[in-house]
A and B are shown apart, each in its own frame.
Chain A
Amino acid sequence: MSDIKVASRYAKALLELAIEKKQLEEVTADIKELLAVAEANREFQLLLHSPIVNADKKKNVIHALFGKHANAITLSFYDIVTRKNRSNVLVSTAKEFVRQYNVHKGIQVAYVTTTIPLTDELRKSFQSIVTDISGMKNIELVEKINPDLIGGFVLKVNDKLLDDSVSGKLRTLRTRLAQRYFVKTY
């Protein structure tokens, strides 16, 4: 949890440097790649978190993975993070970087969970809802399909959540029915 404090500082530094060097898009692409790799590969995450593997080895692994095509700024950023023994916050730094990038670019990310794949028409209406909520024009929808919802959708924008799913309603019904005013409990 205190990851976020550290991560935001590293991310801010990287973002500012990338903007200054006018290589923001390249760096962002690299960071997104790192996130994709980390998400797909649990062992890579464990390696970053492991206090036993020393910083040099971690650096070598990162270079072997991204060394060929990554931007020089990104690589030196990875180096600094590993050298300072902060490789455990690398993934959260990357997430934080993407968040700050979105703020910088004025992009609003929204997460939509539905039971069926979205059509273009639905996508448009979701985008307008997100605009209503956040007031931002540039909207990036992250779509997810979860049949457990039974029906409806769940839309998440920053701290805000619009739950119009059947499962959500069933849950409120369940908590309401669980109030047992006619049972002595003391």
Chain B
Amino acid sequence: MAQVRPDEVSAILREQLSNVKTEAELEEVGTVLQVGDGVARIYGLSKAQAGELLEFDNGLRAMVLNLEEDNVGAVLFGDSKLVKEGDNVKRTKQIASIKVGEGMLGRVVDTLGNPIDGKGPLQGELYEMPLERKAPGVIYRQPVTEPLQTGIKAIDSMIPIGRGQRELIIGDRQTGKTAVAIDTILNQKEYYEKGEPVFCIYVAVGQKASTVAGIVSALEKGGALPYSVVVSAAASDPAPMQFFAPFTGACIGEFFRDTGRPALVIYDDLSKQAVAYREVSLLLRRPPGREAYPGDVFYLHSRLLERAAKINASDEIAKQMNDLPESLKPLVKGGGSLTALPIIETQAGDVSAYIPTNVISITDGQIFLETNLFNSGIRPAINVGISVSRVGGNAQIKSMKKVAGTLKLDQAQFRELEAFAKFGSDLDASTKRTIERGRRNQEILKQAQYSPVAVELQVAIIYVSTKGYIDNVPVESARQFEKEFYNLLKSSHPEALELVLKGKIDEAGKILEAAAKDLATKFAKK
């Protein structure tokens, strides 16, 4: 006997049947002249617009990218074997767009916004959002002032990210780029539980489906799925799906941004997206440029990343924002933000390749991850010396700003002196102290994957470490000290953490000092 599949429940079948149009409609059609490699040339469709979605008889979709004298060049969002020469193609009269809504949270969708996680159709009200939308103009923006806590000590202290910022994560393969991004999503759980969620969108471009499945289960385990959306265009998906996936992510993010809420979008990764775009461009016979990328690959990334923004807090101003989709207008609120964390994979640390230089110049700073740091056990393998955040400094909480200044200086001196220390020559006492403290700071900044740290704890540990209260703790036990210090603070000194959050670091400092010194002596004895 045939097994009944879950989608064959009678109620669902009836709903699908009842939605079928019985009224014939006048459609504009064209004929396929040539098809192959994911690209079709279509005769007719004289009124088709650039960026418009087309539909073939078998339900396959395509998008118009080239408008020529006698034909239309379109990219297929599916297998080109499903289309034959002479097939009919009809216009859908909609510029490429997807349906977005709250119902997307906790789901995995493809580039066209269709759920692919097998949990049924998207629930709740959905709004039509265009994939390609102009970024908000200057009038509708505000400077970045609120922090986006990543939960990673090295980032939150020295390369702080603000809501509405675009911070590039760049590094070779296997340096933990995705781990940084996933930890950031996991850290937003705190805010979700507080009732002020930062909605997270993770866009996987050209990755193995198994990797995507792994990420989804990591988010699920970390309790991050209820406020996250995963957009997946796996390596097996056609190139057009891959290069549009970040736009899908941006447009889901814009939904939250324009309705006055903070959102975070991660594009993992844009180098694969650029490769997919190059493939499509070459097939459409657009002239190749440097590294065979088309001339507008810079524009591809700049228009995508410009959509990350902090929107003016005033509802009136936000309501007048440019290019708002009609369906979203009644919901628009000010004060929302979209933070973008694009990821770029470099080849053998070469940041002067075409795509890395482009994206570095577009973003508001970058986090460099390095293989040799990773291999020497410094994880996250962030090279603090060359990582920067151009706008995030204004977004740090007050107490973090205070302690981070010292930390940055200490670490810069430490790196300079560390090289000397390797020669084993005699060092004077102050140099020795700088190096020893640097080692402890470095140890403190290490962090395991999937273990984001709350910002008040970060401030506390960095405070005691930079002040030298733990200089007598052996370097090897620094991490153990950190763990116990957190527990101690949470159980016996919650008031100190409160003070840290309020920005009263001087008052909190006394409690932290006493607690740290007390705990440190215990470690020193061992």
Contact = CB atoms under 8 A, between A and B. Distances in A.
Interface string B215-256: 000000000000000001010000000000000000000000
Nearest to B57: A171
**Band of interface residues on A:** 20 to 34
Interface in B1-44: 5-7, 12-13, 16-17, 19-22, 24-30, 33-34, 41, 43-44
Interface stretch (A36-44, A116-124, A178-186): A178-186
Contacts of B524: none
Given A1-B43, A160-B28, A181-B114, 17 more contacts: A1-B70, A152-B24, A159-B28, A159-B29, A159-B30, A159-B46, A161-B29, A161-B90, A176-B19, A176-B20, A179-B114, A183-B5, A183-B7, A185-B118, A186-B110, A186-B116, A186-B212
A15 B341 CA distance: 61
Interface in B313-355: none
Name the 6 nearest CB pairs between A and B, nearest first.
A175-B59, A184-B118, A164-B24, A182-B7, A182-B6, A161-B29
B26 A181 contact: no
B56 to A, nearest CB: 9
B194 interface: no
Contacts of B26: 133, 160-162
Interface string A1-14: 11011001000000
30 contacts: A1-B43, A1-B71, A2-B70, A5-B70, A152-B24, A159-B45, A159-B46, A159-B47, A161-B26, A161-B27, A162-B24, A169-B20, A172-B20, A172-B21, A177-B13, A178-B59, A179-B16, A180-B7, A181-B120, A182-B6, A182-B12, A182-B118, A182-B119, A183-B118, A184-B116, A184-B117, A186-B116, A186-B117, A186-B213, A186-B232
B29 A160 contact: yes
Nearest to A152: B24
Interface in B162-218: 209, 212-213
A5 B20 contact: no
A171 B21 CA distance: 11
Nearest to A157: B26
B15 to A, nearest CB: 10
A184 B69 CA distance: 42
Nearest to B117: A184
A109 to B, nearest CB: 14
Interface in A142-156: 152, 156
B234 A186 contact: yes
A156 B45 CA distance: 13
Given A172-B20, A186-B116, A160 B27 contact: yes
Interface in B33-76: 33-34, 41, 43-47, 57-59, 69-71
B108 interface: yes
A163 interface: yes
A124 B112 CA distance: 43
Contacts of A53: none
B121 interface: yes
Contacts of B47: 159
Nearest to A176: B16
Interface of B: 5-7, 12-13, 16-17, 19-22, 24-30, 33-34, 41, 43-47, 57-59, 69-71, 88, 90, 108, 110, 114-121, 209, 212-213, 232, 234
Nearest to B42: A1
Contacts of A160: 26-29
A163 B23 CA distance: 9
A171 B60 CA distance: 12
B16 A169 contact: no
Which of B19, B21, B26, B115: most chain A CB closer than 10 A? B26
Contacts of A175: 58-59
Given A171-B57, A186-B108, A186-B213, A161 B70 contact: no
A11 B290 CA distance: 42
Contacts of B234: 186
Contacts of B121: 181
A52 interface: no
Nearest to A163: B24
Contact of B88 (A161, A176, A182): A161
Interface in A39-86: none
A179 B119 CA distance: 13
Interface in A1-39: 1-2, 4-5, 8
Contacts of A162: 24-27
Contacts of A181: 7, 114-115, 118-121
A1 B72 CA distance: 11
Contacts of B116: 184-186
Given A159-B45, A160-B27, A173-B20, A1 B34 contact: yes
Contacts of A2: 70
Nearest to A170: B20
Nearest to A175: B59
Contacts of A161: 26-29, 88, 90
B27 A163 contact: yes
Which of A8, A156, A160: most chain B CB closer than 10 A? A160
A176 B20 CA distance: 8
A67 B207 CA distance: 65
Contacts of A176: 16, 19-20
A130 B71 CA distance: 25
A34 B19 CA distance: 48
Contacts of A184: 116-118
A172 B212 CA distance: 32
B47 to A, nearest CB: 7
A179 B59 CA distance: 10
Contacts of B209: 186
B6 to A, nearest CB: 4
Nearest to B55: A175
B452 to A, nearest CB: 26
B417 to A, nearest CB: 50
Nearest to B7: A182
A184 B5 CA distance: 12
A5 B33 CA distance: 14
Nearest to B234: A186
A163 B71 CA distance: 23
Contacts of B22: 169
Contacts of A171: 57-58
